[in-house]
Amino acid sequence: MSKFAANLTMLFTELPFIERFAAARAAGFEAVECLFPYEWPAAELARQLRENGLTQALFNMPPGDWAAGERGMAAIPGREAEFRAQLPKVRDYALALGCTKVHAMSGIVDPAYTLAAHRQTLVENIRFAADFLTADGIKVLLEPLNSRDVPGYFLAHQHDALALVEEIDRPNVGVQLDLYHAQIMDGDLTRLIAKLGPAIGHVQIASVPDRHEPDRGEIHYPHLFEALARAGYQGWIGCEYHPSAGTREGLGWLRQWQSTSR
């Protein structure tokens, strides 16, 4: 049975963020994820999780100056100290929220440096982060983002993420497989899932090409859920999409897929 987590950054946006936890639970979700939790006290977020019986499946490490277009710094040469300095805060939030998976955003390529320098920076930073977080049981994930939505992002293809995970060689490092991004950049998703196999640390879904509800567009997700099960993935599936006409109005897919998987 697929387990779905509501992405509270994208879903229920008609409500203040703190109220989205209860809305997600009322809609039938058992877990949530978000991009960045740091605007709110960890204790308040933990209270929302506890009171609504929810699991925090994932959140992202700080991205740098998001408003200015930054999308992380894990792969950006010259920002190693900034990346590493954020790790205590990431750990504190993860422990407070009972969250065991965090996404380290690679960042937009800096043309002042070679791609090889970016890669080496990413490898060294993720090894450092993984070693810092391993005692607390926290896994660090790398997610490729498609070049249409995020031009210039360092990591765009799933096979590159897998190669990096293998080179980093830490047991608490994995691939965050967003099937929306993967379809745009790689395709052949059934075989891709099989290739990634145990490296898959988290999964996210949305329709392609419009990033709306996952029961429309060109991806047949029920088939991919079976492929994920064959690959051994048993974790949460994050619903990171933009509702086409209101979150609640578009949740027929959730009720249908939950009923057919029981």
- Spatial contact of 231 and 190, defined as CB atoms under 8 Å apart: no
State how far the Cα of 104 lies from the Cα of 249, in Å rounded to an integer.
32
Q: Which of 14, 33, 143, 226 is catalytic?
A: 143
| Residue 136 CB neighbours (<10 A) | 12
Of all helices (H) and strands (E), which one includes residue 217?
A: none
Question: What distances in angstroms separate CA 98 from CA 5, 45, 55, 102, one per listed residue?
Answer: 15, 11, 8, 11
240: annotated active-site residue: yes
In which residue are the tokens 């799933």 written? 158
124 catalytically annotated: no
Residue type, 65: D
Catalytic residue among 39, 82, 124, 240: 240
SS3 108: strand
Distances 235 to 2, 46, 55, 203, 210 between C-alpha atoms, Å: 8, 20, 12, 8, 25
Residues with catalytic annotation? 143, 240
